[in-house]
Structure 1
Amino acid sequence: MDYDDLKIYCAEKQGAREDYPFGPEPLVIKVSSKMFALISDGEKYPSISLKCDPFLAEILREKYAAITAGYHLNKKHWNTVLIDGSIPEDEIMEMIDQSYQLVFKSLKKTEREMIMNA
């Protein structure tokens, strides 16, 4: 996966939209007003920060050297994933899906319904 693959996969989520609240980097992907992914195009490899269940976040950090506590984010609930080829692509997509679902579930019922009915 590369930067564009990450961007496309995240943007395909229902109700997802791109934003740049912090300047030109990172690209923030939101569902409604809440972010579920932050994508940076690093010097050597891109990275993506994703929301994660705290228990699972720790397991993933132990399993992969390319996954660290969220950079400039709540370290308990966010992981930063370096896209260096050491993590299977399907696992990265699953992490993106989980992040989206966690954030989507946290939206107000009216926001979820608007997204689902769009």
Structure 2
Amino acid sequence: MNGSTLQTFAAECAQELPGAQLEHPFGPGWEVFKVRGKVFMLMTEVPGRPVVIIKAEPGEAHALREHNSHITPGYHMNKKHWITLEGGAGVEKKLVKELVTDSYLLVVARLPKAEQPVDPHTYGTSTRAAR
């Protein structure tokens, strides 16, 4: 999928997540998705290329970068904990949905239990177990 389609689909995935909100704290060129005030996904353009920036477990982020040319270290983010996803022929909807959901759950897991909109240990396990 191309970069614009990637961003549209990633935004649709994020908006389906409980408690997710879209904000523009850095101006109109940045779309920032948060849950309970904590960022789990950003979208912008990096010199003409639409990108999606999401949180990932450090080990998984490294493996994703090693095996996918469309995934690079997080643009303007901590390179250990964030990845940048660009559009391309090898980018499939299933991967995008999993990455967005995983990013959201990483953030939710760090929230105080009373503020968690879902249980991060059980949310979406039926869809993610097939990986």
TM-score w.r.t. the length of structure 1 is: 0.88
1:15 to 19, 23, 31: 19
In the alignment, is residue 110 of structure 1 matched against residue 131 of structure 2? no
Q: Which amino acid aligns with 1:92?
A: V
Distance 1:92-1:40 versus aligned 2 partners, 3 A rule: same
1:35 to 36, 39, 55: 39
The unaligned stretches of length 5 or more in structure 2 are: 119-131
Please give the per-residue CA displacement for 1:83-111, whole angstroms capped at 9, x wherever unaligned: 22322220111111110110010111121
Please give the per-residue CA displacement for 1:34-70, whole angstroms capped at 9, x wherever unaligned: 0100012567653111100000000000101110000
Q: Which amino acid aligns with 1:12?
A: E
Aligned 8 A contact 2:9 2:93 in 1: no
4+ residue stretches of structure 1 with deviation over 3 A?
41-45
In the alignment, is residue 67 of structure 1 matched against residue 71 of structure 2? yes
Q: Distance in 1 between matches of 2:113 and 2:64?
A: 30
